[in-house]
Amino acid sequence: MSFDDGSGMAEGLWWQTGVIYQIYPRSFSDASGDGVGDLRGVINRLDYIVGLGIDAIWLSPIYPSPMADFGYDVSSYVDIDPVFGTLDDFDELLSQAHQRGIRVILDLVLNHTSDEHPWFIESRSSRSSPKRDWYLWRDPAPDGGVPNNWTAFFGGSTWELDEGTGQFYLHLCHRKQPDLNWRNPDVRAAIYDVMRFWFDRGVDGFRIDALWILIKDEDFTDNPEPPSQHGEGFIGGYMRPGFEDHSEVQDIVSEMRMVADEYPERVLMGEIYLPVERLVRYYGEDLTGLHLPFNFGLVTTTEWGARSASRLVATYEAALPEGAWPNWVLGNHDQPRIASRAGEADSRMAQMLLLTLQGTPICYFGDELGMRDCVIPDEFTVDPQAAAGRSRDGARTPMQWSLAPHAGFTTPHAVPWLPVDGSYPNINVEVQDVDPRSHLSLFRRLIELRREHPALHLGSQKVMNGDREELLVFLREHNGDRVLVILNFGSSVLAVDSMEVGEKARVLCSTLMDRFGDVYISSLELRSHEGLLLALTDAG
Ligand code: GLC
């Protein structure tokens, strides 16, 4: 697929050519010494972020919150939780980031608020409250039980009885996260004003949380049972017709896009766990929807290998609407880390894949080091989703900065909110920074190459695997700049054999960081679990 077609995208916007880095603020860097990361901690680490070469940070929620879901339960949309700092700290972060050329994207949690948000407090105060209809209230079933059979993502029924008014409210996630009624125009207007509040402050975009479940079936019809063949996590097919992917969500998406378009060069990214054919609808008709509906293919795939990766690329390319900008996600705060899913060697290949595929890469903090999921003993488990047997704590442990106590995440006498993984003496920034072959050095080099080569940040993409089972090969190309990516997922040395790309090439980077110089493609061999980036030097 190629974009240099005179569509006006030839040079690319920042969110197209750049790399986005997700920070889970509780776990990134704790300057205050209370064991929880904060905005000052992020400010202190901005030079590290610049050194990575990334272009934008996306911060998971930093708004006031009772923290039942660690910030995804918002009790005010227009302030900062004291655990993270103040609005002044936020303004300083924004200005210091901007001075360094780093954009800042916030998380917009709008399917639900906290039950401690003033809107909900007012809504539950009486059946005749002016905000009653801002949330989804239902009478009990005739037998006095829950209104229907819907099950929450965090386990149990989606319905919670409010004793005071005798009705149930809907919560698709935790009972402390009542769902907003997105059919109510006042709710929409209020959230669009929240967007303007942050855009006016200079925020560069939003990652919109749980976007595909905003609108619920008007009659609250039971979901078919069992609800999903894939279990009850966010991952899965279209199995919950009661609240997944209603066409009215598209109207909301285009309204949000209109708000974003009141400002120059803002970006809207969306969390949508749907099969690709449904996902791409969120680009909107004539691309008037999201700029980047998250493509979770690399996260949700249950197989890690050349075949599945090339299948993912092919399915995605086939589904993308004309002119839509692709994106790839490798990890986030809800999913096991890539180094645990794929193993150390393949986690290096995964970084190469993420940073060379066509489209915007979205990286999760710590993956640049190859951080692994921490095994958290039950007594330290804090994730509310653990109640449903799917704790996400392992992927949320503190960033491993150094050999210092608590891996340098917080002050020595503090107790980190989640344990630091035992791998930190080897897997940390301090050690990897000075090791030219480290995971971190690889990550930086890949971003540097991505920036240097228009083929990588703008170019067309052609998968050239043929029927090779363990090799994934693809060509990126832009105005004569040609870069070949070869990944050997196999456990033996593989010869590449000749390909229709010419003979001569120069090694730009091996995932093992130990190969340089000129090579001939027909005599090239890749070691097991090695990825190679080659600049093609024969005329194209
Ligand atoms: C999103 C967030 C997740 C949160 C959920 C409920 O999926 O990524 O962390 O628990 O929404 O807000």
Is the pLDDT score of 538 beyond 60? Answer: yes
**pLDDT recorded at residue 500:** 82
Q: How far apart are the first and last CA of the chain?
A: 17
Using CA atoms, how far apart are residues 125 and 132, in angstroms rounded to an integer? Answer: 8
pLDDT classification of 115: cutoffs 50, 70, 90: very high
* φ, ψ for residue 176, nearest 5 deg: -90, 15
Atom number in ligand 1 closest to CA 72: 12
- Kindly state if the Cβ of 154 falls inside 6 Å of ligand 1: no
Q: Can you tell me which residue has the tokens 């995964």? A: 350
Query: Looking at residue 135, what DSSP letter applies?
Result: B
- Kindly state if the Cβ of 173 falls inside 6 Å of ligand 1: yes
Q: Tell me which of 105-109, 275-279, 483-487, 494-498 is least confident.
A: 494-498
Is the pLDDT score of 135 beyond 60? Answer: yes
Question: Average pLDDT, stretch 457-468?
Answer: 87
Catalytic residue among 107, 179, 209, 383: 209
SS3 390: coil
Cα separation values, 322 from 74, 261, 290, 296, 461, Å: 37, 20, 14, 20, 15
Residue 271 a catalytic site member: no
Percent of the chain with pLDDT over 70: 95
Contacts of residue 369, defined as CB under 8 A and 6 or more positions apart, other chains included, come to: 400, 427, 428, 429, 432, 438, 439, 440
* 8 A C-beta contact, residue 104 and residue 42: no
- Kindly state if the Cβ of 208 falls inside 6 Å of ligand 1: no
pLDDT classification of 465: cutoffs 50, 70, 90: confident
Highest mean pLDDT among 295-309, 360-374, 382-396: 360-374
User: Ligand 1 mean position to 299 CA, how many Å?
Assistant: 15
Using most ligand atoms within 8 A of CB, pick from 26, 59, 72, 153 the residue to mutate for ligand 1. 72
pLDDT tens digits, 190-243:
999 999 999 999 999 999 999 999 999 999 999 887 655 544 444 444 478 899
Residue 317 a catalytic site member: no
Residue type, 468: R
- Kindly state if the Cβ of 334 falls inside 6 Å of ligand 1: yes
Is the pLDDT score of 4 beyond 60? Answer: no
- Kindly state if the Cβ of 73 falls inside 6 Å of ligand 1: no
Atom number in ligand 1 closest to CA 385: 10
pLDDT tens digits, 305-340:
899 999 999 999 999 999 999 999 999 999 999 999
Is the pLDDT score of 106 beyond 60? Answer: yes
Catalytic residue among 262, 285, 518, 525: 262
pLDDT classification of 7: cutoffs 50, 70, 90: very low
